[in-house]
Structure 1
Amino acid sequence: MYENKSQWATAYLREKFFGRIRITSQCEVVNAIIKSYVRKKGCIFEFMHNFEQALRSYRNNELVVDFKSKFTKPVMTTHLSLIESHAVKIYTAEIFKEVKDEITKAESLIVKGKFVRNGFKT
């Protein structure tokens, strides 16, 4: 069964959501997790036991991250509070960290001047 892992891994992962992970990366990540629990020369009982343990651990980690994302609010640190507070509402905590880096970079831009064209500030 271990030798045929490439056949069942893809079928098992079909229709699962993996935000921002490419399909080849999906299998690599899951295989790395499973590899830490499974031995090549183990029996099928040991494989199933370890596989279940790996799934429980993986699902628990997802639940913890999901909980933190839903019920904790990051500290607003930039002067672009409207943009930052909107980003908190629409992104998960992990993605917000990346977006916040971009907001921080945008905050450091210096506006030297502005002018009005057709009634709109640009």
Structure 2
Amino acid sequence: MTTAEWDALPGTVKTFMAALDAQEFDRALATFTSDAVVTDDGRDYAGTDKIRTWLATAVTEYTYTATFTGASATDGGVDVGQHLEGDFPGGVVDLNYRFTLDGAAIRRLVIEP
């Protein structure tokens, strides 16, 4: 699958991305396995406690808007593109959210340019 269609994404990924944008941390956290790992800005956050801390700080540190730019299927999940504009250093960035799924839950998420 390569698509620009939001509706074609797995439900878990759509739930996570929507919860992230809405700063609904408990809802976002509920999409992960208990032993999930998130890598953001070169740092790993392993397990739900560390991911909860990451969610609460990373998302609220800056004000920004995010626009879905497309997605593609991978062997274990999906890659989602987002264009962000805001008050963070540089002001504009295109990010890839690389999801690895375990059933309907997120086992691994890597966020990188």
State the TM-score, normalized to the length of structure 1: 0.23
Higher relative contact order (CA 8 A, sep 6+): 2
Find the structure with the greater CA-based Rg.
1
Bigger share in helix: 1
Bigger share in strand: 2
